[in-house]
Amino acid sequence: MAKLLRLLLFLIIGLLFLFYLFYGEYGVLPNLSRHINIYGFTFLGAILTGFGVFYINHWLNHRIPWRRHILGRFMAGFALDFAFLGGLLLLMGWLGNLTGLIEYEMFAEDMFIRQIEIKLIVLCFLTMFVVTLVEFNTFSYNEYSVGQIRKLRAERKQLELQFEALKSQLSPHYLFNSMNTISSLVYRDPHVAENFIRNLADTFNYVLYTKEAKVVTLREEIEALKDYGYLLNIRYAAAVDLRIEIDSQYHDRSIPPLTLQLLVENAVKHNIISNDNPLKVNIRATEEEVIVLNNKTGSPSKTASHRVGLDNIRKRYAFFTSKHIQLSDDDYFEVKLPMITS
């Protein structure tokens, strides 16, 4: 379809060339019946030009891609297209004279360039310049379209990952445990039950607030994690020790939302919680990374791998930095999250 449109365009341009030059030379338009040979040469030249320009630009797109050398590709395309058209016109003029189909000799009278030939050269120059400009605009539009599609796909993927993180925080199991804790506190300690409900509400509010956010500040993540840590302290008391030791100078750095909460939740989910062997989770930061470290108290039975949550975090981080998340699973379980500075 693109080739047909290109050929049609060059046929129209060829006819316009013919009408302009013929009228400028003789003051009338060429008659179809009397000048069928001229029309035939015009159509042949337009078709050959269309194919030639197409294959020249196709070849250049592989040898000098627009993406890498915009100016060089523009100049090379214009020069080769112009040279091809000029050479084709000279060849067809020579063949026309040789066969007697057209009675016109280019650059006659000792190679003196006449007015009609100057017009032809200028028209060829302008036409090939516009053709090359159209090629560049086509490339620019395609790049923009592809870029927009990639951007939309990336945003969609990011939202899907955000949704997966959101689902983990709103899982029926998590809600069931929270409701059980509230139920046991209502009659035993109403004040603590009220605080638990408030912190639970704040936790869910943060989850819903960040459901479409790409990143949040460490300050926001830490405040939300403190609410979540309060819930853990009520449920497990001294059996869970969550310590956040991040200096305030790093609080304005960015992090994908729910990252720290997912890591703490993984630590709780994949360790045996007991007063005799408490789970200790420490979160600290350096100039380069946020470090989440927890001891290993033994894996509960029938617990799925924690790789799902880590894969979610890893994929979300990939949108913002080329640095990789570092994982250590020896005596301690440690995750190092690269700092996102912007």
Instruction: State the pLDDT confidence band at 200, using cuts at 50, 70 and 90.
Output: confident
pLDDT bucket at 223, cuts 50 / 70 / 90: very high
Q: Answer yes or no: do 291 and 331 share one domain.
A: yes
Q: What is the pLDDT of residue 184?
A: 78
Range of the domain at 176: 170-338
- Mean pLDDT is lowest, of 7-11, 141-145, 263-267, 302-306, for 302-306
Whether residue 105 is found in the same domain as residue 199? no
Higher-confidence position of 333 and 322: 333
- The answer on pLDDT for 103 being more than 70 is no
As a whole-number percent, the residues of the chain with pLDDT over 70 amount to 77
Cα angle 238, 240, 244 (rounded to 5 degrees) comes to: 110
Same domain, yes or no: 274 and 333: yes
Q: pLDDT tens digit string along 116-169?
A: 667 777 877 888 888 888 888 878 777 777 777 776 676 666 666 665 665 555
Residues 149 and 174 in one domain: no
Residue 217 bridge partners (DSSP)? 254
Same-domain pairing of 123 and 194: no
Q: How many CB atoms lie within 10 A of CB 10?
A: 25
In a domain, 165, yes or no: no
Comparing CA positions, the residue from 205, 209, 220, 212 lying closest to residue 160 is 212
CA pair distance 229, 213, nearest whole angstrom: 22
Position 65 in a domain: yes
Number of domains in the chain: 2
3-class secondary structure, 4: helix
The 3-state DSSP class for residue 107 equals: coil
Note the residue count of the chain.
342
pLDDT (tens digit per residue) in 228-258: 899 889 888 889 999 999 999 999 898 888 8
Among 181-195, 262-276, 280-294, the range scoring the smallest mean pLDDT is: 181-195
Is residue 197's pLDDT more than 50? yes
Tally Cβ neighbours within 10 Å of residue 193.
18
pLDDT digits (tens, 9 = 90+) for 286-321: 988 999 999 988 877 655 555 667 887 888 888 788
32 assigned to some structural domain: yes
- In this structure, the answer to whether residues 244 and 334 fall within a common structural domain is yes
Q: Is residue 161 part of a domain?
A: no
Q: Are residues 135 and 184 in the same domain?
A: no
pLDDT band at 110, cuts 50/70/90? very low
199 lies in some domain: yes
Higher pLDDT, 267 or 299: 267
Taking the whole predicted model, whether its pTM rises above 0.75 is answered as no
Q: Write the CATH number for 273.
A: 3.30.565.10
HSE toward the beta carbon, residue 254, CA cutoff 13 A: 13
pLDDT at 158: 64
- Answer with the one of 120, 153, 186 that is the final residue of a domain: 153
Does residue 225 sit in the same domain as residue 329?
A: yes
Shared domain check, 183 and 265: yes
- Mean per-residue pLDDT of the chain: 78
pLDDT band (50, 70, 90) for residue 52: confident
Does residue 277 lie within any of the structural domains?
yes
Place of tokens 């006659």: 108
Residue 164 lies in a domain: no
Q: Give the HSE-up count for residue 267: Cα atoms under 13 Å, Cβ half-sphere.
A: 27
Is 138 found in the same domain as 6? yes
Q: Is residue 226 part of a domain?
A: yes
Same-domain pairing of 288 and 182: yes
Give whole-number Cα distances, 305 to 141, 225, 270, 302, in Å. Answer: 45, 23, 8, 10
> In Å, how far are 163, 256, 313 from 214, measured between CA atoms?
12, 6, 12
Please check whether residues 129 and 214 belong to one and the same domain: no
Q: How far apart are CA 139 and CA 310, in angstroms?
A: 39
